[in-house]
Amino acid sequence: MAQINWGRVIGGGLLAGLVMNIGEATLHGAILGQDGVDLFQKFGVPHEPQPWQIISLVALTFVLGITSVWLYAAIRPRYGAGPKTAICAGLAVWVLAHVWSGVYIGAAFTGLITAKLAFLPIAWGLIEAPLGTLAGAWLYKE
């Protein structure tokens, strides 16, 4: 069994994270932006994010990208190299990151958070996570 190429995991993971960060910025800035502002205003919370919050979210999305390529590298010996395996890894990341958090938020804060804010990110992630993983896996070689 081949060893994982950690340099390629990091490089591919950063590419995957970039794709995911672009997707998240589009979703939360352009598509859900006003819904988020409305939610914050409803509860009297300042809606301008602090710089550390943006930095944390971007950094953690890069960590998610690296994790997705690591998962691809880990399952590659069993499933084979290529897009099908990358999509499988991306779907696993989607379940672990997007589905779990979206359902938790939607169920735990029913009535506080709109269904659109809770569940649209789940649907969005179904495209974003596999696409990001696919991009990162493209750079991965053992």
Tens digits of pLDDT across the chain (142 residues): 679 999 999 999 999 999 999 999 999 999 999 999 998 898 898 878 889 999 999 999 999 999 999 999 999 999 999 999 999 999 999 999 999 888 888 877 777 888 899 899 999 999 999 999 999 999 999 8
Does residue 102 belong to any structural domain of this protein? yes
Does residue 76 belong to any structural domain of this protein? yes
Q: Phi-psi bin for 53: left (phi > 0), alpha (psi -120 to 50), beta?
A: alpha
* pLDDT attached to residue 1: 63
Look at the chain and report how many structural domains it folds into: 1
- What residues make up the domain containing 57? 6-139
* pLDDT attached to residue 72: 98
Does residue 77 belong to any structural domain of this protein? yes
Does residue 33 belong to any structural domain of this protein? yes
Does residue 11 belong to any structural domain of this protein? yes
* pLDDT attached to residue 114: 87
Does residue 1 belong to any structural domain of this protein? no
Please check whether residue 59 is in contact with residue 21, taking contact to mean a CB–CB distance below 8 angstroms.
Answer: no
Does residue 58 belong to any structural domain of this protein? yes
Residue 18: is it exposed, middle or buried by C-beta count within 10 angstroms (0-12/13-18/19+)?
middle
